Amino acid sequence: MLKWTLLFCLALLPIAAWAQTDRFDAAIEDWLQGDDETSLPALADLAGEGHSLARILLSQIEVKDRGPSPFRAALKPAEARALFRRDAGYGGFSQTWLSVASKAGDPLAQTLIATRLPRPVPGLIANLRRMGEVQATGDPIRAVALYGTASEKKVLAESDAMLDELRPYLIHHSGTQTEHGEGIEALRHMAPFAAEMIDDDDTATREMGALLELGFGSDNIGLTNPWRGLVEDWVLTAPATRPLADLCRDRCAKDVTGCGFVLLVLSGGYYEVIRLDTPLESVITQERFLASPRARLMSLRRAALAKKPDRRGWLAGYDALAEISTCTADLIAETRADYE
């Protein structure tokens, strides 16, 4: 009798695994559609059951979501911990699921944890690419640009592992650094055909460089800047900014260019809009993520919820935004109202 009971239990294991897979796939689709209220608790349940990829994905969403939904923003600290962390019991320290997966020996979790270190980690970029996490190399690339040796920067610049959209960042930090040089190099990257015409000492170029480097935190909003048209065209055509372009074409069809520019400057400039990435590329491809409602919502919410450095008010008010695009100012105001 015991033998038959064991055989029956073993026969149920594949069925349980298939059911978990179906639930995981459904949670991913719900999340991509923008439904946090359904997807996040579903992922949390799977994480609690030991589903390794659910644990990793949930942890990545916790830190990579650039535009938290009203559902998530309304969570109390204890509710957020219960949703995103392992329950450590009364008085215990709630660990991230990424940490739990890492300590359990999951190589993907261990590698992703290393991306959060503020220094270059030898072999990290290659390991991420081998695991299918190309977009996750963004922070390690920045670490090399900021803290790597001249040799490390040269090797990275000449490597196929270099993300093209971060090349201007590496160029700036590999040479003589000028005021708003990060933004000016981004401008050169946007318009390689005009790169030689871009003069670092030109006032208009420096002003646009400040916008691309800092976003709306700079002292101007580029209303009459001669580079504005080029930047607007880039926002609407670059693969990395597809969510912004799709959102503007859908919601502000009569002022698509102004909409794209507002979202760019409210989001923090070039280096922020290019890093709207899938939380876990080996599970959700970058192409699938960028084409999703989630990416469009994240683009809008990140821009709408941007605060001043002192966190005491919105980064830009309605009137300032309406100078660039009334449609987008209305869209931002509607989004902010969802959080009030």
Q: How many CB atoms sit inside 10 A of residue 286's CB?
A: 17
Give buried/exposed letters for 291-317 (b at 16+ CB in 10 A, else e). Answer: ebebbbbbbbbbbbbbeeeeeeebbbe
User: Residues 95, 134: one domain?
Assistant: no
Q: How many domains does the chain have?
A: 3
**For 203-210, what is the mean pLDDT?**
92
**Residue 132 shares a structural domain with residue 264:** no
Amino acid at 229: G
Please check whether residue 190 lies inside any domain of the structure: no
User: DSSP 3-state assignment of 274?
Assistant: coil
Domain identity same for 202 and 329: yes
**Averaged confidence pLDDT in the chain:** 91
Q: Is residue 234 part of a domain?
A: yes
The pair of structure tokens assigned to 331 is: 């869209």
pLDDT of residue 11: 47
Task: Tell me, yes or no, whether 96 and 136 share the same domain.
Answer: no
Backbone angles phi, psi at 96, to 5 degrees: -70, 150
Q: How many CA atoms lie within 13 A of 224 on its CB side?
A: 1
Q: What share of the chain is helix, strand, coil (3-state, %, to 5)?
A: 65, 0, 30
Please check whether residues 288 and 334 belong to one and the same domain.
yes
**Each residue's pLDDT tens digit, 272-326:** 999 999 999 999 999 999 999 999 999 999 999 999 888 888 998 999 899 999 9
The more confident residue out of 93 and 231 is 231
Q: Is the pLDDT of residue 230 over 70?
A: yes
Residues 213 and 253 in one domain: yes
What is the predicted pLDDT for the residue at 220?
A: 67
Do residue 242 and residue 173 come from a single domain? no
CB 303 within 8 A of CB 266: yes
The predicted pLDDT at position 13 comes to 47
Q: Cα separations (Å) of 97 from 48, 102, 132, 238?
A: 9, 8, 20, 34
Instruction: Tell me: do 225 and 262 sit in the same domain.
Output: yes
What distance in Å separates the CA atoms of residue 315 and residue 332, rounded to the nearest whole number? Answer: 12
Task: Decide if 216 contacts 207 (C-beta within 8 A).
Answer: no
Phi-psi region of 245 (alpha: psi -120 to 50; beta: other; left: phi over 0): alpha
Which of 114, 131, 152 corresponds to the end of one domain? 114
What letter does residue 306 receive in the DSSP assignment? Answer: -
Residue-number span of the structural domain to which 325 is assigned: 196-340
Residue 314 has φ and ψ, to the nearest 5°, of -65, 150
